[in-house]
A and B are shown apart, each in its own frame.
Chain A
Amino acid sequence: MSWKKISLVFLLLIILVYTCFPFYWAIVSALKKAGTGTFIVEYWPSEPVLKNFIYVLNRPAFGSTFFNSFLVSTLTVLFCLLIALTASYALGRIQFKGRTVLLLGILGTSMFPQVAILSGMFELVRSLGVYNTYQGLIMSYVVFSLPFTVWILTAFIRDLPIEIEEAAMVDGANSYVILFKVFLPLMWPAMVTTGILAFIGAWNEFLFALTLTISPEVTTLPVFMASFRGESEFEIPWPNIMAASVLVTIPVLIVVLIFQNRIVKGLTAGAVKG
Chain B
Amino acid sequence: MAKIQRTKLSKERIRSAWIFLTPMFICLSVVAIYPLITTINYSFTDARLGDLYNYNYVGWFHYETLFFYDEWWWVSVKNTFIFSFFSVFFETIIGVTFALILNNNMPARGIVRAAILIPWAIPTIVNAKMFQWMFNQQFGVFNEILLDLSIISEPIAFLAYPDSSMAAAIIVDVWKTTPFITLLTLAALQMIPTDIYESTRIDGVSSWKVFWNITLPLIKPTLVIAIIFRTLDALRVFDLLYVLTTNSRETASMSVYARQWLVDFMEVGQGSAASTLLFAFLTIATILYLIITKTSFDRQGVY
Which of A45-53, A55-63, A201-209 lies at the interface with chain B? Answer: A201-209
A206 touches B175 (CB 8 A): no
Interface size class of B (residues with CB under 8 A): 35 or more
A139 touches B31 (CB 8 A): yes
Q: Which listed residue (A12, A116, A226, A252) contacts B122, Cβ 8 A?
A: A252
A248 touches B187 (CB 8 A): no
B236 touches A90 (CB 8 A): no
User: How far is B141's CA from A238's CA once the two chains are assembled, in angstroms?
Assistant: 13
Residues A114 and B236 in contact in the complex (CB < 8 Å), given A87-B24, A211-B259: yes
B115 touches A108 (CB 8 A): no
In the complex, chain B residues 7-32 whose Cβ is within 8 Å of any chain A Cβ: 9-10, 12-14, 16-21, 23-24, 27-28, 30-32
Whether, in the assembled complex, B82 has its beta carbon less than 8 Å from a beta carbon of chain A, the answer is no
Q: Which listed residue (B125, B255, B294) contacts A222, Cβ 8 A?
A: B125
B275 touches A39 (CB 8 A): no
Q: Please name all residues of chain A whose beta carbon is closer than 8 Å to the beta carbon of B37 when the two chains form the complex.
A: 120
What are the interface flags for A193-222 relative to B under an 8 Å C-beta threshold, 1 for contact and 0 otherwise? 000000010011011001100000000011
B263 touches A211 (CB 8 A): yes
B118 touches A23 (CB 8 A): yes
Residues A119 and B268 in contact in the complex (CB < 8 Å), given A5-B106, A249-B126: yes
A120 touches B239 (CB 8 A): no
Query: Could you tell me the dominant secondary structure of chain A's interface residues?
Result: helix
Residues A175 and B13 in contact in the complex (CB < 8 Å), given A36-B139, A104-B297, A118-B39: yes
A260 touches B9 (CB 8 A): no
User: How far is B113's CA from A268's CA once the two chains are assembled, in angstroms?
Assistant: 14
Query: Could you tell me the dominant secondary structure of chain B's interface residues?
Result: helix
A120 touches B35 (CB 8 A): yes
What are the interface flags for A15-30 relative to B under an 8 Å C-beta threshold, 1 for contact and 0 otherwise? 1101110110110010
User: How far is B222's CA from A206's CA once the two chains are assembled, in angstroms?
Assistant: 29
User: How far is B140's CA from A238's CA once the two chains are assembled, in angstroms?
Assistant: 10
Which chain B residue has the least Cβ–Cβ distance from A69? Answer: B123
Which of B65-73, B96-104, B196-204, B209-217 lies at the interface with chain A? Answer: B96-104
What are the interface flags for B82-122 relative to A under an 8 Å C-beta threshold, 1 for contact and 0 otherwise? 00000000000000001001101010110111111111111
What are the interface flags for A152-190 relative to B under an 8 Å C-beta threshold, 1 for contact and 0 otherwise? 000000100010000001000011100100000000000
Residues A260 and B114 in contact in the complex (CB < 8 Å), given A25-B134, A123-B35, A206-B239: yes
Q: Please name all residues of chain B whose beta carbon is closer than 8 Å to the beta carbon of A175 when the two chains form the complex.
A: 12-13, 16-17, 20
Residues A96 and B259 in contact in the complex (CB < 8 Å), given A119-B275, A143-B31, A274-B225: no
Which chain B residue has the least Cβ–Cβ distance from A175? Answer: B16
Which chain B residue has the least Cβ–Cβ distance from A28? Answer: B141
User: How far is B50's CA from A258's CA once the two chains are assembled, in angstroms?
Assistant: 46
Whether, in the assembled complex, B129 has its beta carbon less than 8 Å from a beta carbon of chain A, the answer is yes
Q: Please name all residues of chain B whose beta carbon is closer than 8 Å to the beta carbon of A244 when the two chains form the complex.
A: 129
A15 touches B101 (CB 8 A): yes
Which chain A residue has the least Cβ–Cβ distance from B235? Answer: A113
Whether, in the assembled complex, B194 has its beta carbon less than 8 Å from a beta carbon of chain A, the answer is no
B42 touches A100 (CB 8 A): no
Q: Which listed residue (A104, A111, A122) contacts B232, Cβ 8 A?
A: A111
Whether, in the assembled complex, A103 has its beta carbon less than 8 Å from a beta carbon of chain B, the answer is yes
Q: Which listed residue (A9, A83, A120, A253) contacts B121, Cβ 8 A?
A: A253
Which chain A residue has the least Cβ–Cβ distance from B5? Answer: A172
Q: Please name all residues of chain B whose beta carbon is closer than 8 Å to the beta carbon of A93 when the two chains form the complex.
A: 302
Whether, in the assembled complex, B276 has its beta carbon less than 8 Å from a beta carbon of chain A, the answer is yes
What are the interface flags for A81-111 relative to B under an 8 Å C-beta threshold, 1 for contact and 0 otherwise? 0011011011111111001101110011101
What are the interface flags for A241-274 relative to B under an 8 Å C-beta threshold, 1 for contact and 0 otherwise? 1101100110011011100100110011001111
User: How far is B300's CA from A103's CA once the two chains are assembled, in angstroms?
Assistant: 13
Q: Which listed residue (A20, A22, A100, A117) contacts B39, Cβ 8 A?
A: A117
Whether, in the assembled complex, B164 has its beta carbon less than 8 Å from a beta carbon of chain A, the answer is no
Q: How far is the CB of B296 from chain A (nearest CB, A)?
A: 8
User: How far is B10's CA from A96's CA once the two chains are assembled, in angstroms?
Assistant: 9
Q: Please name all residues of chain B whose beta carbon is closer than 8 Å to the beta carbon of A116 when the two chains form the complex.
A: 36, 39, 275-276, 278-279, 282
Q: How far is the CB of B16 from chain A (nearest CB, A)?
A: 4
Q: How far is the CB of B196 from chain A (nearest CB, A)?
A: 18
B139 touches A176 (CB 8 A): no
B226 touches A271 (CB 8 A): yes
User: How far is B36's CA from A118's CA once the two chains are assembled, in angstroms?
Assistant: 8
Instruction: Name 16 A/B residue pairs within 8 A (Cβ), A-sorted.
Output: A5-B106, A9-B106, A20-B115, A26-B130, A26-B133, A94-B14, A104-B294, A116-B282, A120-B35, A122-B262, A143-B32, A147-B28, A206-B238, A225-B126, A264-B183, A274-B296
Chain A residues with a Cβ under 8 A of chain B: 5, 8-9, 11-12, 15-16, 18-20, 22-23, 25-26, 29, 36, 39, 41, 83-84, 86-87, 89-96, 99-100, 102-104, 107-109, 111-124, 126, 139-140, 142-143, 146-147, 150, 158, 162, 169, 174-176, 179, 200, 203-204, 206-207, 210-211, 221-222, 225-226, 238, 241-242, 244-245, 248-249, 252-253, 255-257, 260, 263-264, 267-268, 271-274
In the A-B complex, the 4 residue pairs with the closest CB atoms: A120-B35, A120-B38, A113-B236, A116-B279
